[in-house]
A and B are shown apart, each in its own frame.
Chain A
């Protein structure tokens, strides 16, 4: 790592401030590059900057730690996440079983509606494990109940049903409430056993009525598996989605492999898939874990191929349904032993219009692959290229996506004949045509420019210097599209460390919320309330429907509703009003004098980077005896630390990184 920084003057200054001990390690490197003191960040700022940009912001003690080992060393560690111990995080994630299951296991343990329908139709059998079985039976009951209602409504008409129905539901609810009360009187294990012994209908009614505090009370004292079962009886798919969301937040907050998580978030957003689209409810766990994270710092081409073949992407952008207009399936040719695509002649006639769900080309993936994943919208491709790429990827499909099946190449739906993509002639070779196109795209200069611009926008500024992007793009093209090498070029650049880059990026809601939790040293026992806050701020996790992903620029996130949301979150967080999140007062400095308390918190939460305006506004507030808690009879009582912390986390300064 060649970083330009550290001035002798700064060292002296920092020593005076009491940071001297940790500074010495980094002295001496790259002296010749240290132009003028004014053009450099001091070492503390560099540490803060690195933590703000390459991590989700500092936790208590992080800045000192990074200074102690040296910013270079810390960055080097972050670039090699496999060497960083993350056992504490693993322990936090251990209750979430779905995070370790393959897609098939997930679908089997937390059945989808299709799976339940298959059982209702007698195509599948019930599992024997009692907890699993309870989940299935409750869903079956729910399914039958829904079907019955549909029937009744069809016979009696919607209006006639209303009164009887309302009465029935009221009765059911009162009945369920009583059962819940009985269960709550039992110790957790017995509560679970009794629930499992209930009829599926009662199980459904009981779990339906578990809302808010009652739910918390019900789950109290149960082990993770038991909790999961209760939630799954209610809504199995929700368990899968919640665990995914909780996993993401816990990683962002607690993982020591911060850069890997930042990059995983970056690439997931780049190759965005929307959780709410059908089977993708079940596919994102594996997508993020097996496709995105392992290559987050690796080769871009690996990422591109892995996403192209991932069930999540194939389903999301509909490629699994795309069929070559002249393929065997489209032509109604039955399966045969020798499927030799080379012998087939390309037929330029009319698209086969025979009935059937799949009989033609779907351009969705082909277009987004070039526009969003690789070349960028001005990357120099045409509508003809889109169609040709769609032809290339025919046959890249899925086996039973709703039941957890994976990628497969289906030759019978693959379009025969030559294709021409971006002027390259792609000769017929089945699945390998797609790999050839991905290779061309991964190493295309437009891709280098597009991807590096996006990285620079994430890490450097909303409008990154062109010279920096060009150097990153050169590395991208020279070093086999190695993401790690591109990041190194960026981190070696004076632009990254320029003083005007310091706290220049406005945080996205995710970055804000996670950095606030980290800064406050909070203990998160349930991350879902945080996820709900993100939804209110316009950034639901895995919830971006269009394939563009979320913006990483300020203008998308600075607006009235979002700003109020941030202030409210900050106050709620530090005053313990975000459920499942406890701010440990031990983590925050306490001073009895209100002004000293403010100064100490400014240092702890914002490394002292607080404007006079913000400081004055809070200082003025501290005149209020309710806040300072200063009373004549009790002069030693400390001020309201959590309120001061909340005001600081909601300040303009904390909105930037």
Chain B
């Protein structure tokens, strides 16, 4: 069989990896040399698909209107995990509490997209393309965030540089930078993740490598590169650290596997995982019920991920997003309909946490967007732009978020010492 060109370039003399079993010490050595520059920085993006109800996640318990508009699904003041006397976490987010106290967790409230759509599909698309209202954008912003990083040496390029956990590659990672989707690291290979590789894999590789089918050819090559790297790094041997209790379910599995890939030093730079089940039109629940359950899975998984990474968390930043928020008022079925602004979590070593960022627009009738939803006061691209600029070190934000004036002067300074405190209008009732 032939070794794909890219693996050869990337790994120089260690191209032998593709051919057969490599002693694990050699494989480790091959990947021990991390990329230069922003080499160790990792950005993990979490998408809460289905429009999470930000007002019941980071609760404005100092707002009278919040309780008036949500008679049956509010989170009572005495049950929130208070953050600053005005905002509080939903009680199911208790795994976030230590992170907040250690100032590794920042919150941006009333963030979102300027596009008014209330379509899940369109809004997700815009948030993943990074270009609200522009449908023609072909690639995703997370892919572009790797674009113009200061010319990495060929050896910097790992097949795992950009990965999505799940059965398919999401819009956010599609584009010209090689990116892969991985559903289950133990089944990632032809005939399973056989340490020896298989003749069948080699035959398929030869077919796809030389295929004139541009779509399948490119994906095939990325796939086989990744299979080989994974085989030699054997991330499955990295078991969760003590205290990292991932809950059952797809999201917990995704983060557990992501931690394994990071710990196996596979050169992960940007990663994506998603969690569904937020579209609570009916019987949303409050401290118990649907939203409590999904929040529990969400925070438990992220908390375990944080614990699991240990020292590696220092160079890791997790940003969460959801396509839009939900109506400020509950609807007729003790649920909420599609709304506008939402809440984002930013978590990580270099984050200046323990603060709620952004300007709080208020929940009075006159302050609501279109008379029904929390207004957007922070464009989601401001938050992501700062992550890309300061954490990944990509200064070409006009390429990552084209058409958006995203200058460092406009950042919320989540990474800096100088922070803009959230302005609050109202005193607790």
A558-571 CB contact bits vs B (8 Å, 1 = yes)? 11111111011001
Distance of B334 from chain A, by nearest CB (Å): 7
Q: Which of A294-302, A520-528, A610-618 forms part of the interface with chain B?
A: A610-618
Q: What is the bound-complex CA distance between A513 and B220, given in angstroms?
A: 18
A652 at the interface (CB under 8 A from B): yes
Residues of A within 8 A of B71 (CB): 353, 355
CB closest residue in chain B, given A371:
B119
CB closest residue in chain A, given B164:
A559
B364 at the interface (CB under 8 A from A): no
Q: Which of A159-167, A319-327, A436-444 forms part of the interface with chain B?
A: A319-327
Distance of A176 from chain B, by nearest CB (Å): 24
Contact of B216 among A353, A537, A558, A624 (CB under 8 A): A558
CB closest residue in chain A, given B370:
A383
User: Which residues of chain B from 39 to 59 have any CB-CB distance to chain A below 8 Å in the complex?
Assistant: 49-50
Contact of A617 among B183, B206, B217, B370 (CB under 8 A): B206
User: Which residues of chain B from 275 to 305 have any CB-CB distance to chain A below 8 Å in the complex?
Assistant: 276-277, 279, 281-283
B19 at the interface (CB under 8 A from A): no
B332-354 CB contact bits vs A (8 Å, 1 = yes)? 11110110000000000000000
Contact of A621 among B120, B187, B199 (CB under 8 A): B199
B20-44 CB contact bits vs A (8 Å, 1 = yes)? 0000000000000000000000000
Residues of B within 8 A of A109 (CB): none
User: Which residues of chain A from 569 to 626 have any CB-CB distance to chain B below 8 Å in the complex?
Assistant: 571, 611, 613-614, 616-618, 620-621, 624
Provided the pairs A318-B333, A538-B167 are in contact, do residues A377 and B117 lie with their beta carbons within 8 angstroms? Answer: yes
A402 at the interface (CB under 8 A from B): no
Residue contact A571 to B211, C-beta cutoff 8 Å: no
CB closest residue in chain A, given B68:
A353
Contact of A555 among B166, B174, B204 (CB under 8 A): B174
CB closest residue in chain A, given B332:
A360
B157-183 CB contact bits vs A (8 Å, 1 = yes)? 000000010111100001000001111
Residue contact B211 to A614, C-beta cutoff 8 Å: yes
B258-279 CB contact bits vs A (8 Å, 1 = yes)? 0000000000000000001101
Residue contact A564 to B189, C-beta cutoff 8 Å: yes
Residue contact A560 to B182, C-beta cutoff 8 Å: yes
Residue contact B337 to A363, C-beta cutoff 8 Å: yes
Contact of A624 among B199, B219, B331, B335 (CB under 8 A): B199
B420 at the interface (CB under 8 A from A): no
Residue contact B119 to A377, C-beta cutoff 8 Å: yes
Q: What is the bound-complex CA distance between A371 and B122, given in angstroms?
A: 10
Q: What is the bound-complex CA distance between A318 and B331, given in angstroms?
A: 12
Residue contact A563 to B220, C-beta cutoff 8 Å: yes
Residues of A within 8 A of B283 (CB): 357
CB closest residue in chain B, given A618:
B203
Q: What is the bound-complex CA distance between A536 and B72, given in angstroms?
A: 39
A328-370 CB contact bits vs B (8 Å, 1 = yes)? 0010000000000000000000010101011111111001000
Residue contact B204 to A362, C-beta cutoff 8 Å: no
Residues of B within 8 A of A560 (CB): 169, 180-182, 188, 219, 222-223, 226
Contact of B203 among A563, A617, A656 (CB under 8 A): A617
Residue contact A564 to B227, C-beta cutoff 8 Å: yes
Nearest 5 A-B pairs (CB), nearest first?
A: A360-B332, A538-B167, A617-B206, A613-B210, A559-B169
9 A-B interface contacts by CB (under 8 A): A357-B334, A367-B338, A536-B184, A558-B216, A559-B167, A563-B223, A613-B207, A613-B211, A643-B200
Given A546-B120, A561-B184, A613-B207, 13 extra CB contacts under 8 A: A322-B333, A360-B331, A362-B333, A377-B122, A536-B167, A559-B219, A560-B181, A561-B183, A567-B200, A568-B190, A614-B207, A652-B208, A655-B213
Task: Give B residues with C-beta under 8 Å from A.
Answer: 49-50, 71-72, 116-122, 164, 166-169, 174, 180-184, 187-191, 199-200, 203-204, 206-208, 210-213, 215-217, 219-220, 222-223, 226-227, 276-277, 279, 281-283, 331-335, 337-338, 370
Task: Give A residues with C-beta under 8 Å from B.
Answer: 318, 321-323, 325, 330, 351, 353, 355, 357-364, 367, 371-372, 377, 383, 386, 506, 536-539, 545-546, 548, 554-565, 567-568, 571, 611, 613-614, 616-618, 620-621, 624, 643, 646-647, 650-653, 655-656
